[in-house]
Amino acid sequence: MDKKNLTIGLAFLAAAAAVFIYGARQQPKAPPAQTPPAVSAPSAAPAPAPAVEQTSAPATLPGDASSPAGPVLAAPPPPPSTEFAALASPKADAVITTLSNEFVEVRFTNFGGAVRDVAIKKYPVAKDDPAPYVFNEIHADPILAFTGIPGLDQSTRFELVSATPAEVVYRAVFEKRLEIIRRYTLAPASGDTGGGDPYRIQHTTTLRNISDHTNPPTWVNLSLGTSSILSATDNGFYLNVASYDGDKPHFTDRNELKGGGFLTNFGIGDARPKAWVQQPGPVVWASVKNQFFASIYTPDAAPAAGVTVRRVNFGVPIPGSSAENIGLTASVKVDLSAIPPGESATIAGKLYVGPKEYTRLSKFEHREDKVMQFDRYFFNRIFLSGIVAPIMNRLMNWIHSGVGNWGVAIVLMTLLLKTVSLPFTLAASRSAKRMQKLQPLMKEIQEKYKDNPNKKNQATMALFKEHKVNPMGGCLPVLITIPLFVAFFAMLQGTAELRFQSFLWAKDLSAPDTIARIPLGFMTLPINILPLLMGATMVFQMRLTPSPSVDNAQAKIFKLMPWIFTIICYNFSCALALYSTINGLFTIGQQIVVNKLTSDEPVATPAAPGGGGKGRGPGGKPVRNVTPKGPRKF
Query: pLDDT band for position 602 (50/70/90)?
Result: low
Separation of alpha carbons 299 and 297, rounded Å: 7
pLDDT at 310: 95
Phi-psi region of 442 (alpha: psi -120 to 50; beta: other; left: phi over 0): alpha
Q: Cβ atoms within 10 A of the Cβ of 226, count?
A: 27
Of the listed ranges 317-321, 394-398, 577-581, 621-625, the least confidently predicted one is 621-625
**What is the pLDDT averaged over residues 605-623?**
46
Can you say whether the dihedral through the CA atoms of 544, 546, 552, 553 is positive or negative?
A: negative
333-389: pLDDT as tens digits: 999 999 999 999 999 999 999 999 999 999 999 999 999 999 888 888 888 899 999
DSSP-derived letter for residue 368 is G
Separation of alpha carbons 310 and 221, rounded Å: 13
CA angle 400, 402, 403 (to 5 degrees): 65
Exposed, middle or buried by CB within 10 Å (0-12, 13-18, 19+), for 16?
A: buried
Q: Which residues pair with 241 in a beta bridge?
A: 252, 288
- pLDDT at residue 312 above 90? yes
Candidates 1, 10, 558, 30; CA nearest to 325 is 30
Residues composing the chain: 634
Contact residues for 273 (Cβ-Cβ < 8 A; gap 6+): 30, 83, 257, 258, 259, 260, 311
Q: Within 13 Å, how many C-alpha atoms sit on residue 414's CB side? A: 21
What is the end-to-end Cα distance of the chain in Å, rounded? Answer: 39
Query: pLDDT band for position 228 (50/70/90)?
Result: very high
pLDDT at 11: 54
Separation of alpha carbons 146 and 144, rounded Å: 6
Separation of alpha carbons 487 and 375, rounded Å: 9
pLDDT at 265: 59
**DSSP3 helix / strand / coil % (the chain, rounded to 5):** 35, 25, 40
Peptide bond into 282 cis (omega under 30): yes
Separation of alpha carbons 547 and 54, rounded Å: 77
Query: pLDDT band for position 170 (50/70/90)?
Result: very high
- pLDDT at residue 70 above 60? no
- pLDDT at residue 4 above 60? no
pLDDT at 65: 38
Query: pLDDT band for position 592 (50/70/90)?
Result: confident
Q: Which residues pair with 187 in a beta bridge?
A: none
For residue 120, the one-letter residue type is I
pLDDT at 113: 96
Strands lying side by side in the sheet with 344-355: 159-163, 167-174, 178-186, 200-209, 344-355, 293-299, 285-289, 240-244, 249-253
- The H-or-E segment that residue 253 falls in is strand 249-253
Domain ranges of the chain: 3-17+396-437+470-598, 31-35+45-71+95-373
Q: Strand 524-528 to strand 514-519: parallel, antiparallel, or no bridges (unpaired)?
A: antiparallel
**What is the pLDDT averaged over residues 71-99?**
84
CB 5 within 8 A of CB 474: yes
Query: pLDDT band for position 471 (50/70/90)?
Result: low
Query: pLDDT band for position 613 (50/70/90)?
Result: very low
pLDDT at 75: 73
CB 220 within 8 A of CB 76: yes
CB 394 within 8 A of CB 497: no
Contact residues for 322 (Cβ-Cβ < 8 A; gap 6+): none
Q: Count of H helices and E strands in the chain?
A: 13, 20
More confident residue, 268 or 454: 454
* Percentage of the chain exceeding pLDDT 90: 43
CB 258 within 8 A of CB 182: no
CB 349 within 8 A of CB 182: no
pLDDT at 35: 36
Query: pLDDT band for position 428 (50/70/90)?
Result: confident
Separation of alpha carbons 294 and 133, rounded Å: 12
**What is the pLDDT averaged over residues 319-329?**
87
Candidates 295, 286, 302; CA nearest to 335 is 302
Separation of alpha carbons 136 and 188, rounded Å: 22
pLDDT at 268: 65
Of the listed ranges 65-69, 200-204, 522-526, 546-550, the least confidently predicted one is 65-69
- The H-or-E segment that residue 441 falls in is helix 439-448
**What is the pLDDT averaged over residues 120-139?**
94
**What is the pLDDT averaged over residues 100-123?**
96
- pLDDT at residue 589 above 90? no
- pLDDT at residue 580 above 70? yes
- With H, G, I as helix, E, B as strand and everything else as coil, classify residue 590: helix
Can you say whether the dihedral through the CA atoms of 403, 407, 413, 415 is positive or negative?
A: negative
Candidates 182, 163, 176; CA nearest to 112 is 182
Q: Within 13 Å, how many C-alpha atoms sit on residue 337's CB side? A: 8
Q: Nearest 5°: phi and psi at 397?
A: -65, -40
More confident residue, 220 or 595: 220
Q: Which residues pair with 215 in a beta bridge?
A: 339
Separation of alpha carbons 244 and 247, rounded Å: 7
pLDDT at 193: 43
pLDDT at 33: 37
Separation of alpha carbons 318 and 234, rounded Å: 9
CB 244 within 8 A of CB 307: no
Q: Strand 159-163 to strand 146-147: parallel, antiparallel, or no bridges (unpaired)?
A: unpaired
For residue 378, the one-letter residue type is F
- pLDDT at residue 446 above 90? no
pLDDT at 48: 41
More confident residue, 476 or 39: 476
- pLDDT at residue 180 above 90? yes
Query: pLDDT band for position 609 (50/70/90)?
Result: very low
Q: Please, what CATH class does the domain formed by 31-35+45-71+95-373 belong to?
A: mainly beta
Separation of alpha carbons 573 and 480, rounded Å: 22
526-574: pLDDT as tens digits: 999 999 999 999 888 877 766 555 556 666 777 788 888 888 888 888 9
Query: pLDDT band for position 24 (50/70/90)?
Result: very low
Average pLDDT, the chain: 80
CB 103 within 8 A of CB 191: no
Highest averaged pLDDT of the listed ranges 82-86, 404-408, 479-483, 611-615: 404-408
CB 384 within 8 A of CB 390: no
pLDDT at 528: 93
**What is the pLDDT averaged over residues 6-12?**
52
Of the listed ranges 29-43, 253-267, 310-324, the least confidently predicted one is 29-43
pLDDT at 430: 72
Contact residues for 363 (Cβ-Cβ < 8 A; gap 6+): 197
